[in-house]
Amino acid sequence: MKNKVTFQKWSCFIQKEMYKNNRTALCLIDCVTGEEILYASVNVPELALKQDEIIIKNYSENEGILPVLVAAKIISEPLRFHFAGFPICKLLI
């Protein structure tokens, strides 16, 4: 079963992908059209992360995605923050 969330006007499912450096990426895909809506994650290669941690982009067009993903139990509440303000969370799926 796919993990689903509603973000702004879209009903989406979460697609796990991998960045080139083998870190997990989270993409929101429109349930109706199958189109990519946004990437909820960001890759910061120089930042040390545990295998089950992910960096979330919660600003600009992604503003508000953090509480949506936390409420859906896709990620944990932020464990800490990158110096640029990115929340670092535990990936729960």
Query: 43: domain range?
Result: 4-90
pLDDT in tens, 42-77: 999 999 999 999 999 999 999 999 999 999 999 999
- Structure tokens of 48? 């040390």
| Domains held by the chain: number | 1
Distance, CA of 24 to CA of 81 (rounded, Å): 17
pLDDT grade, residue 1 (50/70/90)? Answer: very low
The pLDDT value given to residue 10:
94
Separation in Å, CA 78 to CA 2, 71, 85, 86: 23, 12, 11, 9
Cα 10 to chain centroid, rounded: 15
User: Which 3 state secondary structure label does DSSP give 80?
Assistant: strand
